[in-house]
A = this chain, B = another copy of it.
């Protein structure tokens, strides 16, 4: 390099910036090369002389140049110094106007659950008794008290006309943490992030705790929304079975003997779709082996507060080893889009950064209304809701005993939203659904709930999705469909 002038770009360095100096140099040279200010073949100053003129250490310039080499923007040869490369990359092929731009998009991980979430969020079919959606029953209704809560906060500009903190509305985080502590969980507001529904929490952990190609452990069957998210994120699900006592922890143990998955995703209380609640022995064991393996547990607990007895969640056993997700969608209303996560402090900021990127902050207005509702009406509503769920299951069991052949088995666990049934070998759930829809009833067939093939002999009935007095009639129609298939 000439010791004399360098007529090219002289980076403007901000020595107070949090951006490292090497990166400031790199980025300004990069822009200059990309925009043509430094044309191809331009000789760059030697590292030493450039460092002198910029009043930085030589290693700072070395590092900046190295990044440019990696980008293919400059070339370095021993003895000949550094030059702007002939082109940064091969010149892009001329684009044909006839080809739409989306043809060359990056490949798309959709896999086998192309639109499952969409199906779950689907419309209620008119005239059909649809046991499809996992929504709370129409009675007991939270609407009256909820409208009052919204009206109370609607006039406060601080709650409607601002974004609020990304981690959530302070009084709501306090209220959530207090309720967690009442369930035996040592968590504070500082461990809590308010979410726009708990689905958001599943996406946050999928993108924050793992990378595409990583393995995770899931239950089989499991919540299809979660399976779809894991698939979109390129995670490889190792499926572990669920029985009436919850996840088969002995299978988890076998997997952990040879694999190191990024996390274990489980819904231990009122599991979707089987309604199973993991027993105390398995909970203890799962936490023990997960800790020993250094693999965190992601506990998805949308239904936990509705479990008969309200047993403590897994996170109570190991607050620092569990990322806990829950929501008010099942206990109050899905239209709120308010959920939360609890996590160890050291990873909270990482999780929060994703939450911010997904939607900046959850509606402060909705958060404030939920806070008000929690104080005034929530406990009574949940108590009535639990009773309603037990009553609905009783009605369903009675109708099944009347209208379905005994070769159909319904899952034992009660108390939640779902009834999980197994068909006899000769009847496939998908064919049964087709027949039932013709007779005016619908449900979800098992396939969507399995990370692996399976579920062809299972069906899920959301007993909450219909009016209480439609349960028996809906089950009767499915019974009629069974008869039609068998004859």
Contact = CB atoms under 8 A, between A and B. Distances in A.
How many interface residues does chain A have, given as a range?
35 or more
Contact of A347 (B105, B197, B356): B105
Contacts of A88: 258-259
B143 A102 contact: no
A453 B12 contact: yes
A468 interface: no
Contacts of A78: none
Interface stretch (A1-9, A14-22, A474-482): A14-22
Nearest to A295: B101
A164 to B, nearest CB: 7
A453 B28 contact: yes
A79 interface: no
Interface string A190-232: 0000011101100100001111001000000000010011001
Contact of A453 (B14, B161, B428): B14
A95 B292 contact: yes
B162 A124 contact: yes
A280 interface: no
Contact of A337 (B344, B354, B362): B362
A142 B209 CA distance: 41
Contacts of A101: 294-296, 321
A371 interface: no
Interface in A428-445: 428, 430
Interface in A315-363: 320-321, 329, 333-337, 344, 346-347, 349-350, 352-354, 356-363
A92 B165 contact: no
Given A118-B352, A357-B203, A359-B200, A136 B161 contact: yes
A87 interface: yes
A183 interface: no
A205 B397 CA distance: 47
A40 to B, nearest CB: 9
Contacts of A56: none
A163 B134 CA distance: 9
Contacts of A347: 102, 105
Contact of A161 (B114, B118, B135, B214): B135
Nearest to A226: B357
Contacts of A17: 447, 453, 456
Contacts of A120: 163, 360
A20 to B, nearest CB: 9
Interface string A15-47: 011110001100110110011100000000000
In the A-B complex, the 7 residue pairs with the smallest Cβ-Cβ separation, listed nearest first, are A95-B294, A147-B154, A92-B260, A335-B365, A117-B356, A24-B453, A160-B335
Interface of A: 12-14, 16-19, 23-24, 27-28, 30-31, 34-36, 87-89, 91-92, 95-97, 99-102, 104-106, 108, 110, 112, 114-115, 117-118, 120-124, 133, 135-136, 138, 141-143, 146-147, 150-151, 154-155, 157-166, 195-197, 199-200, 203, 208-211, 214, 225, 228-229, 232, 238-240, 251, 254-260, 262, 291-296, 320-321, 329, 333-337, 344, 346-347, 349-350, 352-354, 356-366, 428, 430, 447, 452-454, 456
